[in-house]
Amino acid sequence: MGLPNSTDIKSFEARELQSLIVLVLFLVIAFTASASSQGIYFNFQTFNDSIIGLQGNATVDSRYFIQITPSSPYCMGWATYYEPMRLWDKATGNVADFTTQFTFAIDSPYKPLVADGFTFFLVPNGSQLPANSTGGARGIINDSDPQSARFVAIEFDTFYTDVGGNFGGAINDRICSPIGQNGKDSHIGIDLNNLTSVNSTCVDRLEDKIRGGGQIKAVITYNSNTQNLSVLMMDANATGTGINSTNTHHKVNFTEHLPEWVTFGFSASTGMVFESHTIMAWEFRSTVQVARQKSKSWLWPILGSSSFILLLFFLAFIWFRHRSKSKRADMSGEEDDLVIDEEFEQVSGPKKFTYKELVMATDNFIVERLLGEGGFGRVYEGYLTNVNANVAIKKINPGSRQGIKEYAAEVMTISRLRHRNLVQLIGWCQRKRNSSLFMSSCLMGALILI
């Protein structure tokens, strides 16, 4: 068996230090990453005006659902989340990823006649419900100043509106049926600053569900890496395979259309023909990686995080030193044991005893068996059953000035001496650095040193 040397110990320390550095860096990266991420998450099955901002004709009904508009003519309303969302970060250019899903129903007492629809929208933070936004304006543009609108929206449109009229060319809906067949023009579209969709899809497979007041589920997702904004609409109560669904998508760079902070939620409107727009459940999740602030208020978080990191390094350093010291001590103790074993085995006569045998011989070194005490340790009376002899056992004090080399030299010297007036060494025991033992016979028995 090879003995551990200084190279082995240094190799151990290097491996331990590498592991320590990896651990600390992992903690620092995790701390930094969590500190630089912002986002919103909620999942509402019921609503109240403490979490939803209501404007215009929007209300929370007796079922705790959102009524964006009632089933009445010429209404308009907004229902928005009570906190703004960070859509992108100017310092880094990072844009948020977000996904939202909600269940809605559209109903009219005059079905199949329905109008006009609703939107899920994002607008500059602090924006308000525009005036003159009933009818085809869907509560998102002012029909007296349609060009001033600034928004990104997903429209759920139930009525065809063409270019011109009061909207100054800001609306040009997709035709999903012959003109004049109201109630069969439902479509979804993606709108950028006006209601002429950059991409849209008819929802003829869900037309009856919409006109009948059935529940519809919509899922909207934005991937900032691909800049893909997509919407999927399906029957909320359908199960199994073959579920009717409709989807559309478009590439959108939000930094070109909206500021960093936005208000988001739902808008709706009715005109001479009308319907109710109800949101029954709403889930939303967003996340964006942002740069640290550069204002003076940033000082305290930085000092706090720096102190936290320094504390990690300090504690890790203490742990590393303690572990390395313990390992070196273990290696050194094992090395001492091996050296002593090899040297003592070359000497004829003395026998190696186990520490357990000495404990049994002295009744665990009780005070009643103590014969005397010197500078290097104590001497106890004992009886070794396996050699049928009374012995004196010297137990060396670990804190004494007698080191391992001196102990080994003493054992080697005594074992070679032969004289009728000298005690004979009959055994020894080495138990790492803490307990070094040997035994010598005397006239009335034998002497054992520990």
Provide the 8-state DSSP code for 135.
Answer: G
Which residue reads 């059953």 in tokens? 385
Tell me, rounded to whole angstroms, the distance of Cα 194 from its chain centroid. 40
Token digits of residue 440: 């010598």
Q: What is the Cα–Cα distance from 319 to 314, expressed in whole angstroms? A: 9
Tell me, rounded to whole angstroms, the distance of Cα 335 from its chain centroid. 45
Helices (H), 90-174: none
Q: What is the Cα–Cα distance from 197 to 100, expressed in whole angstroms? A: 20
Which residue reads 């005490």 in tokens? 373
Amino acid type, 68: I
Q: What is the Cα–Cα distance from 170 to 194, expressed in whole angstroms? A: 5
Amino acid type, 149: A
Which residue reads 């008819």 in tokens? 202
In a 13 Å sphere around the CA of 218, the CA atoms on its Cβ side amount to 27
- Residue 53 pairs in a beta bridge with 80
Pick from 272, 228, 264: which is nearest to 123 by CA? 264
To the question of whether residue 325 is assigned a binding role by annotation, the answer is no
Q: What is the Cα–Cα distance from 282 to 102, expressed in whole angstroms? A: 4
Binding residues for ATP, by number, are 395
Question: Per the annotation, where are the binding residues?
Answer: 395
